[in-house]
Structure formats: structure tokens, C-alpha cells
Structure 1
Amino acid sequence: MALGFVLGIIVGWVVSTTAPPEVKGPLSDWFKAFGDIFVRLIRIVIPPLIFFTIAAATASIANARRLGKILALMLVLYIVTTIIASVLG
């Protein structure tokens, strides 16, 4: 994975410094399309992943008192992060 990251940086730098402008535009559009698809797929996958991870962790807790404390903490953290997000915009 790190190798792909480094190779991507090198290829991007080489293309940006050596390619003529008529090649950079279509090439940039082509890569932007793949980047947009990747971001959309991440936005689709992450919310259910978080939900089911929390649900599985909650279901595995046998002690009701401990579960109550964890759920209360989760609620407080949710409210705090929501307030922070609202203030920051």
C-alpha cells in the first residue's frame, strides 16, 4: 500500500512536470472521475460499518450496568461532537 502511494506521487509529479497541457486536462479529468467514485464508495460503506460495529460491540456486553455506562458515554460524546460540528459549520 505504501509502495502504491509513493509510486502515485512519483507518477503524478512526472506527469505534471513533463506532460503537455493538452494531455494534462483529459488525464486530470479521468483521474478525478475515479477519485469521485472512490469517495462515494467510502461514503456508502462507512456508515453501515460503524453502525454494525457498535451494534456488535453492544450486543457482546453481558453486564447491564456496564452497558448503561457505555451507552451514556456514547450519548454524551455524540452530543458534544454534534455541538462542535454545529459551531464549526
Structure 2
Amino acid sequence: MCLAVPVRVVEVPEEGKARVQVGQGENYMEISTLLLPEAPRPGDYVIVHAGFALRSLDAAEAEESLNIFRQIAALGVNEGRELEQL
């Protein structure tokens, strides 16, 4: 199974690359933007898989996707706790 994650662009240090923030914490990574039709700008959101930006998306779409990931993670954590109690 493949998983592509929405991330926020914080810096574009050079053509074809971007530094992005993963989640709400202090997790950052450098990605390739060579697959995008247009270079992203700081503040833009992109979907990333295996270090490559696959497409751009607007902030509302990114937040909706991130909320779904948070809900899935919460279900997994809750399910794990229930299993521990058995």
C-alpha cells in the first residue's frame, strides 16, 4: 500500500526542490518538485510520496486530508488500548 501525505512548503531553496513541514510539529524534509507542472511557493501545500511532490492542493483540501489521517491514527491508538485491556 502506498501513502501520499499533504505537507506545507516552507522554503524553495533551489529549482526542483522544496523544504516542507510534515504535520504540525518540527518535522521537516527536503523533497523534489520536478514532477509538478509549476514550482510551489512557500505556504503552498503538496502531496508527497517517496520524497516527490505529486500534485499541489489548496489549504482546505490539505486540512481535510490531514484531519482524516488524524482520525485514522486516533482509531488505531484507541483500538490498541482496547486490545491491551483484553
State the TM bucket, normalised to the shorter chain: 0.3 to 0.5
TM-score by length of 2: 0.38
- Structure ranking higher in helix proportion: 1
- Structure ranking higher in strand proportion: 2
TM-score by length of 1: 0.37
